[in-house]
């Protein structure tokens, strides 16, 4: 199977490419420098030339706070850009697997969100990701899978665990928000699930995230403990750590469909720590 990966230079995209190779498929990776998904003509030409069976769109604007300051740029990538990929895939007879976010929800349910729950993003980033879902569904109505995931972290890019490891090595104490709860998801696990979905992709929306849930503070405490660092991680409220973009207070994802289950976020963290330790050796 030929699998085209857009955004292949990013944290998730790199892991998807490795997962495609591990599964014995033929990967075609296009990083942002090779393909700007906001350029509809370039996307159409690239997909037609690659002749893929499946397109996994990992291309995204991921700067949550930056989207508040430059919504037009974030929307161009996450909204119409995602639609360009899906439209080109459909024209080439390929299936689209598009990666979306838990931030399409407002976080006020305080129970796990499933695929049929109503969306209501509270940030510019969340709105841009929701627009991407709508564009993908419109561009490839009969040949798309939208995979919502949560709190991605991986060895191949900037992420929360790397930031915590750096700060904990420099400081005796860290204050981390404890009133936002979600499902940390290791990109190595998510990538494997995305490639597995390519074998028989279901139409519509799926929730695929690390099993279990925690707050950012609990996540940070596990990171620091796993690294054996002598840093005290203390809980604070969102109000005590204001950021430009509002975040959902509770964005735990579960599936009411036959979505692939992922290992726990704790297991993902252990694999992440092993990979980063090996890379540093």
Residues marked active site are found at 125
Could you tell me which of 48, 38, 147, 32 has the C-alpha nearest to residue 82? 38
Residue 26 in contact with residue 54, Cβ under 8 Å?
no
**Burial, 266: exposed, middle or buried (Cβ in 10 Å; 0-12, 13-18, 19+)?**
middle
Angle between helix 11-22 and 187-199 (nearest 10): 50
């Amino acid at each position: 199977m030929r699998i085209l990966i857009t955004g292949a230079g990013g944290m998730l995209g790199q892991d998807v490419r490795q997962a495609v190779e591990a599964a014995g498929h033929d990967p075609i990776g296009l990083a942002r420098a090779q393909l700007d998904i906001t350029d509809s003509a370039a996307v159409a030409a690239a997909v037609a030339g690659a002749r893929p069976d499946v397109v996994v769109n990992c291309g995204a604007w991921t700067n949550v706070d930056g989207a508040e300051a430059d919504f037009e740029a974030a929307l161009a990538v996450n909204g119409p850009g995602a639609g360009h990929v899906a439209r080109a895939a459909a024209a080439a007879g390929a299936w689209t697997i598009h990666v979306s976010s838990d931030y399409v929800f407002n976080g006020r349910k305080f129970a796990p969100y499933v695929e049929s729950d109503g969306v209501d993003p509270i940030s510019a980033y969340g709105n841009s990701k929701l627009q991407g879902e709508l564009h993908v569904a419109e561009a490839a109505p009969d040949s798309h899978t939208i995979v919502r995931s949560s709190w991605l972290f991986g060895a191949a890019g900037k992420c929360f665990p790397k930031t915590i490891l750096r700060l904990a090595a420099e400081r005796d104490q860290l204050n981390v928000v404890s009133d936002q709860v979600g499902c940390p998801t290791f990109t190595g696990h998510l990538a494997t699930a995305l490639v597995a979905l390519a074998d028989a992709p279901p139409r519509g929306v799926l929730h695929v995230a690390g099993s279990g849930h925690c707050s950012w503070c609990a996540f940070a405490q596990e990171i620091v403990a796993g690294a054996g660092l002598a840093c005290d991680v203390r809980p604070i409220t969102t109000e005590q750590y204001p950021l430009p973009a509002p975040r959902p207070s509770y964005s735990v994802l579960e599936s009411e469909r036959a979505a692939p289950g992922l290992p726990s976020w704790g297991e993902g963290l252990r694999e992440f720590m092993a990979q980063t330790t090996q890379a540093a050796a």
